[in-house]
Amino acid sequence: MLLVAGLVSALPASAAPAAACERGPASPSLPEGAVVVEPGTDLSLKTRELPAGTTFWLAGGKHTLGADEFGQIIPKDGNAYLGAPGAVLDGAGVNRYAFTQQARDVVIKGLTIRGFAAPQDQGVVNHDSGEHWIIEGNTIEDNRGAAMMAGARQEVRGNCLRDNGQYGINAYRAGDGITGLVVEGNEISGNNTDDWEKKVPGCGCSGGAKFWAVDGADVRGNWVHHNHGAGLWADTNNNDFLIEDNLIEDNAAEALFYEISYNLVVRGNTFRRNTLTQGREFAARGDDFPVGTIYLSEAGGEPRVPARTSLVEITDNVFEDNWAGITLWENADRFCNSPANTSSGSCTRLVSSVSSCSSPGIASKPLYDDCRWKTQRVSVHGNAFRIGSGCSGFCGRMAMLSNYGTYPEWSPYKGAVVSDAVTFRQDNRWYDNAYVGDWRFVVHDTSRVVGASAWQEAPYLQDACSSFGDGGC
């Protein structure tokens, strides 16, 4: 546990920064039999000429591709692309992509990859989400779009992913989604330099890393910082995430946004100074919505969706000087087939057809339950929450709430139905936490803001054995 007499402990060794950008690219040894590629060689042509399983060794210096936007490398199964010290693959602001198509078991290691001009929502490395790519020890920086896409069983280890126009990682694959993703020991910083949320308001298309329909992801030991938006954002039918031993700090919006998704463990992380930009913007315009450092939006534990856990468990983390803490939100008007669902065309993992979630069937079980992404089975325990004396008003809040259901006309979730459910009936629990500072709790709806004693008493009965400077139980 990270709690010491109700105070925030020091940063645990396991969450020490993965300072990959300071280290620079790894320098793998020259393997026997590797094909040496000097700057000026057309690597895309060389790849076409040589068989699958070839290892390419890029000598130090600047490597470029064809002089048009579609100059790109199309690997074959088992190819490896290794960088000697100082090897740079440069898109010159012209080429869209560095590595494309769907070869399997590709290795990319020790390169600086920069200057590519991927369009919105597209990535420079593994553009087409090939399976089991190992992307390790690279610096991928100053590109448009995303530094990389992701494929099934992809391993992303020890990279510097910084200052890209949209994302460091865009984990999206059309069709069958992504399974078994590993993101470990990377530094993910300064991404969304193109400020996509202002270019396309409401796009939900920015941040350090974005995950879509990923089933099974381990996100461990990363340093996620100073991204212009959320640090980590899992959006739409993700499942079975382990987010562990990361240092997540100084991101403009949420440190972690987990949205219409399932089954999550957040353990042993340190969260510092996140959400300050977004929180202050909300406060400045008088918006009383409880912006959170961890934001669960229609996301919870679901035993019927196979995973390593059937909960959302948030435990043994340190939260220090963020804008607020954890927000559990469930939009009463957002469900499968509702016009209010911004993930249009998507349904829950419990219903096979979007059209099933319609009147009159949705008003009865099982569709009444299964057409909703529910914020349920959330366990928040063993965490340390600290805000300084300078925090007042909106910045020191924890929240569990919904809105008053009004839309669409045929919705069976009108009124306070969902507010009552998320607050009292969906097994959401805080306990054994330690608080420092002036904390308030937004509960049921935005109009109810209570202090610690009311939060702990009936009817809410939250934070049993937690300490508010009093030692707890």
Pick from 72, 83, 84, 81: nearest CA to 44: 72
Contact 120, 196 (CB under 8 A): yes
Q: Locate 239 and state its tokens.
A: 């499942």
Please give the model's pTM, rounded to 2 decimal places.
0.95
**Calpha distance 315→319 (Å, rounded):** 11
Say if residues 132 and 176 touch (Cβ distance below 8 Å). Answer: no
Collapse the DSSP code of 64 into the 3-class scheme (helix H, G, I; strand E, B; otherwise coil) and give the result.
strand
Residue 462: predicted pLDDT: 98
pLDDT single digits (tens) 342-354: 887 889 999 999 9
Q: Is the dihedral of CA 256, 212, 145, 169 positive or negative?
A: positive
**Lookup: tokens for 249:** 């700090």
Q: Which long-range contacts (CB under 8 A, 24 or more apart) does 346-353 make?
A: 346/236, 346/237, 346/260, 347/371, 348/237, 348/260, 348/372, 348/373, 349/237, 349/239, 349/262, 349/302, 349/305, 350/302, 350/304, 350/305
DSSP 11: P
Taking a C-beta distance cutoff of 8 angstroms, is the pair 149, 125 a contact?
yes
Sign of CA dihedral 307, 311, 315, 321: positive
Dist CA 370 CA 366 (whole Å): 6
Domain ranges of the chain: 3-334+366-456
Q: What are phi and psi of 427, to 5 degrees?
A: 55, 45
Task: Determine the residue type at 120.
Answer: Q
pLDDT in tens, 246-299: 999 999 999 999 999 999 999 999 999 999 999 999 999 999 999 999 999 999
pLDDT tens, residue order, the chain (473 aa): 444 444 444 444 444 567 999 999 988 889 999 999 999 999 999 999 999 999 999 999 999 999 999 999 999 999 999 999 999 999 999 999 999 999 999 999 999 999 999 999 999 999 999 999 999 999 999 999 999 999 999 999 999 999 999 999 999 998 888 999 999 999 999 999 999 998 998 888 999 999 999 999 999 999 999 999 999 999 999 999 999 999 999 999 999 999 999 999 999 999 999 999 999 999 999 999 999 999 999 999 999 999 999 999 999 999 999 999 999 999 999 999 999 888 878 899 999 999 999 999 999 999 999 999 999 999 999 999 999 877 867 899 999 999 999 999 999 999 999 999 999 999 999 999 999 999 999 999 999 999 999 999 999 999 999 999 877 78
* Token pair for 108: 């990319």
Looking up tokens 């139980």 gives 473
Contacts of 393 (CB under 8 A, 6+ apart): 283
- What pLDDT shows up at residue 4? 40
pLDDT of residue 16: 53
The architecture that CATH gives domain 3-334+366-456 is 3 Solenoid (2.160)
CA angle (351 as vertex; 350, 352 as ends), nearest 5: 125
**C-alpha distances in Å from residue 51, one per residue of 35, 47, 137, 422:** 12, 8, 25, 57
* Residue 112 · residue 82 · CB < 8 Å: no
Helix, strand, or coil (residue 217) = strand
- Give the per-residue pLDDT at 41: 94
The gap from C-alpha 402 to its chain's centroid, in whole angstroms, comes to 22
Side-chain half-sphere of 50: how many Cα atoms within 13 Å? 22
